[in-house]
Every structure is written in C-alpha cells, then in structure tokens.
Structure 1
Amino acid sequence: MSQEKHDLNFLTKSFFAGGIAGMTSKTTVAPLDRIKILLQAHNNHYKHYGVFSGLKRIVEKESFFGLYKGNGAQMVRIFPYAAVQFLSFEIYKKFNAKTFGKSSSANHGLKFLSGSMAGVTAAVTTYPLDLVRARLAFHVTVPSTDGTAAVAQQRMRIFPTLVSVIRNEGGFLALYKGLTPTVLGMIPYSGFSFYGFERFKYFLLQHFPQVFGTEKNDKIMLNVPSKLICGGIAGAIAQTFSYPLDVARRRMQLSMLTPETQKYSKGCLSTLTLTYREHGIVKGLYRGMTVIGS
C-alpha cells in the first residue's frame, strides 16, 4: 500500500471515529450539558438550583425527555464538529511537523499548536449549530394553569431558529454571536486537551506499560480505559482555564432572547465584566462547572 493511500485511509478513519465518538460522548452527558447551559445563563426557572437539584427539577417540570432538550441539534452539530476536529488535528500535526521540524524540543509545542488550530477550525465550521443548540436547551416548557402542558415560547426547531436569528437579529453574522470567546477559549482548551492527552499517554506507556498498555501489531498502545482516563484528566484541566470564556459564549448566544439579557450582546470583555460584577466568580464566571456549584 502506498504512503498516500495509507494516509488517506488513516484520515478517513480519524474523521468517522472522531464523529462517532463525539456523538456518543455528547449523548451520554446531554443532561449535564443542558443544566450547565441553564445555570450559565441564569435561566429564571432554574437560577436558584444547583446541578443535581436542577436535573431533578427538569424531570419534574418538563419530564424525563426534558433532560435531552436540544440534543437533536447537538447530534446534527457534533458529528461534523468532532470529525473535523480529529481530522484537522492530524492534518495540522503533519503540516506543522514539516514546516517547523520534528525536533524533540519543538514537538510538545507543535502538538499544542495543532490541537488549538483543530479546535478553532471545528468551532468556526459548526458554530451556527452550536448557537441553535444553546437556544433549544435554554427553552423551558412550563405547565399552564389548567394543568395541560403549555410552551412558554413558540416551539423551537433547528431550521426555524436559524431563520429567525438571521431575520431578527442582524443577518447572517448574528449566527456567530459569541464566536470571539469561543475562539479565545478554544485555544487553551483544545490545545491542552490534545497536548495533555499525548503527555499523559506517553507517561503511562513509558512507566506502566504492563498496566495501561495493550499489544497490537507488535506495538504497545494505550488500552481503552486508560484513554478515557487520560482524556478525562486533560479535558478537566483544560476546562478549568477556559470556562469563563464558555460562560461568556453562552450568555452572548442567548443575549437576544429577553430584554434583560440584551446587555450581554455588546462583546466578550463586556460580558465577562458584567457577569463578574453581577454574580462574582463562583456563581458567575464558573457557574455550572462542577456538580456542587449552585
């Protein structure tokens, strides 16, 4: 098999593996994703709840399926997002290696750079769907006074939401509201996620190959549980640094839904400043990050 064909097969596998892995992981944590959005933006129905109490309240107020509100839009978005991220990471990694060389001193920095570039590429490519997903998840169904289920707002769907944003909020560019904090947050988050994963993987295989490794094609590779551990640790550390920007992104995405929140549409720095002044660090910039936050 030629090198070109081998590279094409590898990239194709990376594309589909990344997409399927992304869909699976996001569906698994969809309830936590939804309550995080509700807490980050201080939804009026859930602003006095924490993560666990909020999840319980969603089931009571909106039924079990309320936990997965917006997950359809998430699935439409996450396959291309994860696929583009994994695929572009491999492309950027090879490009940067050829451009800057493969010296060991530069290797770690290049992995961080490649991860950051891949994260930004994926985020920009699928951003309008992320905005729609946030709005669907923020939408709350409340019971009417006669006991029947009523919808607080007009029932939202993916395509009508896209059209509504374009028509009513400033045209096509309105679909990218909150992109600045997304890109700024993606650089440390995606960069360290990939870099941290690679470093943790190297450490485990270097020092504990019999415990965390498995042999395949005469090579020692990280086993599946160890990959999950490395990915989880790297992601948690990366999120700690970038989380305030994630809060700013959500607030900007949802800023035009009510007159009270339009003040968050003026820009990333303004949104971060207002959030800090109104709610502080724990209940503002880091609200919804942990399961003990309230």
Structure 2
Amino acid sequence: MAPPPPPSTLIRSKNFVAQPVVASFIAGGVAGAVSRTVVSPLERLKILFQIQSVGREEYKLSIWKGLAKMWREEGWRGFMAGNGTNCIRIVPYSAVQFGSYNFYKRFFENTPGANLGAGQRLACGALAGITSVTCTYPLDIVRTRLSIQSASFAAIQRKEPGARLPGMWATMSSMYKNEGGFLALYRGIVPTVAGVAPYVSGSLITDIIYGS
C-alpha cells in the first residue's frame, strides 16, 4: 500500500497558524494595530499634554480645542503623527504579549492543559508584559519623539520651513549615535516595566474572568 502523500504547503501553513502561540501572536498584533490607529489622535494629544512646561504651553487647552489645534495646523497628518511607528511597535508588542503568555503558561501548568490559578496567571501576565515591553521599547521612545517633532512648540528647535522631518530610522540612528548608544534606546525602561507588569497581569486576569 502506497504511503499517503505529504500535506500540501497550504495545509502545513494552516496547521502552523492554528497553533495557540502562533494564533495568539497574529491576532494580538492585528488587534493592537487597529486599536492604536483608531485612538491615534488622542494618543498624540496625550503626549503633547504630558510635555507641557515653561516655554511649552501651546497645548494648555481642553481635549477638543487641542484636537482642533492639531487639525488646523497639521491636518490629518497631525492626527497620525507617530502612528506608523506606533503600529510597527504595537504589532510585535501585542503579538509578543499574547504569544509569550501562552509560552510561559506551559511552565506554570500543574499538568499539560490544566487551568491556571490566579497567582499563576499573575506571574504569566507579568512575564509577558516584561517581555513585550523589552522587545519593543526603542520603538516606543522613537514614537514619542516623532509625535512631538512637528508640534507647534516654540521651544522645539526647527529646521527651515518645509524641511523634511527625520523618520523612524533616522531618529533611532541619531539617538544611538548622539545620546549614549544602545542604552539611549532604553532610557526609562525600568519604571515602564515596573508599571506594565502589574497592568498586563491585571488585564489578562480580568479578561479571563469576564470571558469565562
């Protein structure tokens, strides 16, 4: 009797994508990109509000007036400033978060496939949050830089009118060369990790509780 033919490339691809870790990786990345794009204007406005200081008071406005100012001065591009980098960041961030949760889950299960207790879920969520932030933190810093470089802050030095602003890779390269090398891309990582670990843990536990 002849052996059965090997599975086709399409079937092998479907089987690969159907694996829990891979499926979570893809679904998390797509969901993250879509959600960040929808709230991009508010994300950018939040950053502009956060950097208010003496000499940077142009965005001491209400939310609606701030959004209107962005639209008047920069149009649709103002709403989306930094969103490309944010999507590039959030796809691996969300994907790594969901994928690593399923990966770490294997080490905390009492038996394969067993449900995790609250403490085990908390630990998995914390590790997943730390992993995702560490992998994508340089893009988070660059996204912040890109969000403010075109804003109408008088204190921010500008090039000639109409000059093209640096993009993601140029900004990252400049930080690496001029601000301390690799460590410059991870400036502020410790408080970020300290905040994201309990946040992700709580979010995952809440999702599991209300989803069950």
The answer, yes or no, to whether TM exceeds 0.5 is: yes
Partner of 1:159: 169
Cα distance, 1:51 vs. partner?
2.1
Partner of 1:150: 161
Report the TM-score, using the length of structure 2 for normalisation: 0.80
Please tell me the residue identity of whatever aligns with 1:17.
A
Residue ranges of structure 2 left out of the alignment (5+ in a row): 1-14, 154-159
Please tell me the residue identity of whatever aligns with 1:121.
T
Partner of 2:24: 14
Distance in 2 (CA, whole Å) between partners of 1:7 and 1:30 is 29
Partner of 1:183: 193
Cα distance, 1:50 vs. partner?
2.7
Counting aligned pairs with the same residue, the percent is 38
Conserved 8 A contact 2:16-2:22: no
The counterpart of 1:38, out of the listed 12, 24, 48, is: 48
Q: Deviations over 1:42-96 (max 9, x none)?
A: 1725441132221111111211220110011112111111111110011112221
Please tell me the residue identity of whatever aligns with 1:63.
G
Partner of 1:71: 83
Q: Is 1:201–2:208 an aligned residue pair?
A: no
Report the TM-score, using the length of structure 1 for normalisation: 0.59
- Select the structure that is richer in strand: 1
Q: Deviations over 1:213-241 (max 9, x none)?
A: xxxxxxxxxxxxxxxxxxxxxxxxxxxxx
Conserved 8 A contact 2:101-2:128: yes
Conserved 8 A contact 2:58-2:152: no
Q: Which has the higher relative contact order, 1 or 2, with Cα contacts under 8 A spaced 6 or more apart?
A: 2
1:1-294 aligned at under 5 Å gives the runs 9-42=19-52, 44=56, 46-98=58-110, 107-142=117-152, 150=161, 155-202=165-212
What SS does structure 2 have at the residue aligned with 1:48?
A: coil
What SS does structure 2 have at the residue aligned with 1:63?
A: helix
Size of the aligned set, in residue pairs, is 190
Distance in 2 (CA, whole Å) between partners of 1:72 and 1:8 is 28
Conserved 8 A contact 2:20-2:102: no
Cα distance, 1:187 vs. partner?
1.4
Conserved 8 A contact 2:17-2:23: no
Q: Single out whichever of 187-196 and 39-48 deviates more from structure 2.
A: 39-48
